[in-house]
Amino acid sequence: MRLCAVDLACHRGGRDIFTGLNFAVASGEVLAVTGRNGAGKSSLLRTIVGLIRVGRGKLTLEGGDPELTIAEQAHYLGHQDALKPSLSVAENLRFWAGFLGSEPADIAAALVTVGLDGLADLPSAYLSAGQRRRLSIARLVAVKRPIWLLDEPTSSLDDAAQNRLMALLRSHVAEGGMVVAATHGPIGLGGPKELRLDDMALPSSATAAAEPAVP
């Protein structure tokens, strides 16, 4: 499976967020999208899942399920955690597992993976920011999807939780999944491909060449 972008551009509010973007990620690879604030990291992820319309260029998935769109084969972990404070930890996860997945999910196992077992019956309102983030990540474990699109996945996670996330990403990649992660710091995975979005937002560099696609 290979996710390719050719000459991809994104326009928001009459402004080019990025243009002329080329990259490719294959199964078993991690692409780290880096760049300063406002460089368009989040917009790129949202473009891939179809929440923002592709301005120009092409976005294709080779070797995926032809019946499904890219978004339907991808997990998107945005800035917000998509949790309801009045529902319990398990209820939140069970909802997303039921909504996103077609087969019954192992809620308890997913909670163990993110280290939230024992809090299953707790209302999510009581969780700290880091715990909410982990509950949000549990969704990726509960429902199997090959493509993970992560927007600042380590935000509000402590060291232990970051290590656990890295282990999770490694095992996902090892099982043939792919990860595209927007991050401003080092992602901590050994030698991932990097896509730098810096300078892309400047109008004068609209034709600037992006990181060349790695075949």
| Identity of the residue, 141 or 210, whose beta carbon is nearer to another protein in the bound complex | 141
29/72 with CB nearer another protein: 72
Q: Does 51 bind another protein (CB under 8 A)?
A: yes
Q: Can residue 55 be called a binding residue for another protein (CB under 8 A)? A: no
99 makes contact with another protein (CB under 8 A): yes
Is residue 82 within 8 Å of residue 23, measured between CB atoms? no
What DSSP state is assigned to residue 200? Answer: T
The first and second tokens of residue 109, run together, are 């196992």
Q: Is 120 among the residues that bind another protein (CB under 8 A)?
A: no
Long-range contacts of 102-110 (CB under 8 A, 24+ apart): 105/142, 105/143, 106/142, 107/142, 109/141, 110/138, 110/139, 110/141, 110/142
**Per CB under 8 A, does 53 bind another protein?**
yes
Binding-site size for another protein (CB under 8 A) equals 40
Tokens of 179: 């990860």
For the four alpha carbons of 62, 49, 43 and 188, in that order, the dihedral sign comes to: negative
- Report the interface residues with another protein, using CB under 8 A: 46, 49-53, 68, 71-72, 74, 76, 78-87, 91, 95-96, 98-100, 115-116, 118-119, 122-123, 125-128, 130-131, 158
